[in-house]
Amino acid sequence: MSAAKPALRLSALAPYLQATPLGLVLAVFLVIPILTIVIVSFWDYDSVMIYPDFIFLNYEELLGSHVTWKTYLNTLKYAAFVWAFTLGIGFTVAYFVAFHVRSSTAQMALFLVCTIPFLTSNIIRMISWIPFLGRNGIMNQTLMGLGLTDEPLEFLLFSDFSVILTFVYLYAQFMIVPIFNSMMRIDRNLIEAARDNGASGFQTLVNVIIPLTKSGILIGSIFVVTLVMGDFITVRLMSGGQSASVGLMIANQISLLQYPAAAANAVVLLIIVLMMVAAMLRVVDIRKEL
C-alpha cells in the first residue's frame, strides 16, 4: 500500500508537468515582455537616458495630446475600411472556391494560387505598388493613354487610398483562409435541404451559409484588425509619411529613444486591441463554433 501513495501523488502532478513547457514558453515570450513594457511605461526619461521611476507623466502626455487622439482615430479608420473590404473580398473569393468550383483538384489549385504571392516578402509586395500607382506609373499612363483623364491622378499614391489598397491586398488572404475553411466544413446536404425547403439562393446564403461561416469570419476579422491596428511600415511607405498610425507613432518615439513614452503608447494600444477582440468574441462564441 505504501508504494501506491507516491504514484498517486505523481499522477496528481502530471497535468501540471504536462502544461509546464507551454507555460514556460508563454511566460518567457509573452508575459515577461509585456510586463517589461508595462513597467517601463511608468519610467521617466530625457533625451539621452531612461530612469526607473513610477510616474504617470507618459500617460498624461499621451492622452492629453490631441495628436494622439487623431492618430488613434486614423488607425481605427484604416482598420474599419480594411476590415470591410477584406471581408467582402474574402467572403466572395472563399464562396466562389468552396461552392462554385466543383472539382476538388481545381479547388486546391485555386487555393494555392491565392497563397503564391505570400512566398515573397510583404515589403517587396508593398513597394511593387509604388511604380504601379505613382504619378508617372502604369495606372496613370494607362488612364491617360486611354484618354480617360488629362492629367495624372494624384490620389492614387501616398494617400489613404494607397494605404488601404495595400492593406487589403496584403491581408485579404487572412480573411479568405479561415472563411474558406469554415465553408468547406458545411455539409453539402444542408444546401440541398435549404433548397428543398424552398429557400432561394440568397435566402440560403443568409440563413444557412453565413451563420455557419461565422467562426471563420470572426477568426479572419481578428487577424485583419489586429494586423492593421499594429502596423507601421505599410502606413509609412504607402502614405509617403503623410498619414500616421499608432504603430508609426510608437516607431517614431523609439527612434527618438523615448522608450517610456513608446511603452505607454504600446500599453494603451494593447488595451484597445484587446477590447476590440473581446467585443468580437462576445458576438460569436468561438469555442461553441469550433
Q: What is the DSSP string of 257-278?
A: T-HHHHHHHHHHHHHHHHHHHH
Q: Give the number of other CB atoms < 10 A from CB of residue 239.
A: 22
And the C-alpha cell for 126? 508593398
Give which of 226, 227, 231 is closest to 279, Cα–Cα: 226
The C-alpha atoms of residue 182 and residue 112 are separated, in whole angstroms, by: 17
The C-alpha atoms of residue 89 and residue 175 are separated, in whole angstroms, by: 8
CB of 280 to other proteins, least distance (A): 18
Amino acid symbol at 43 = W
CB of 205 to other proteins, least distance (A): 12
Residue tagged 444546401 (cell numbers): 191
CB of 93 to other proteins, least distance (A): 23
Helix H or strand E segment including 51: strand 50-51
Per-position x/- string for 202-221, each x denoting binding to other proteins as judged by CB under 8 A, each - no binding: -x---xx--xx---------
Closer to other proteins by Cβ: residue 20 or 200:
200
CB of 184 to other proteins, least distance (A): 15
Closer to other proteins by Cβ: residue 50 or 212:
212
Using the contact rule CB under 8 A, the part of the chain among 11-19, 115-123, 198-206, 276-284 near other proteins is: 198-206
Sign for the CA dihedral angle at 198, 204, 207, 209 comes to: positive
CB of 178 to other proteins, least distance (A): 17
Sign for the CA dihedral angle at 215, 216, 217, 219 comes to: positive
And the C-alpha cell for 257? 529613444
Closer to other proteins by Cβ: residue 5 or 188:
188
Query: Which residue of 50, 87, 153, 199 would you call a contact of other proteins, by CB under 8 A?
Result: 199
CB of 194 to other proteins, least distance (A): 7
Per-position x/- string for 166-195, each x denoting binding to other proteins as judged by CB under 8 A, each - no binding: ---------------------x-xx-xxxx
Positions that interact with other proteins (CB under 8 A):
187, 189-190, 192-200, 203, 207-208, 211-212
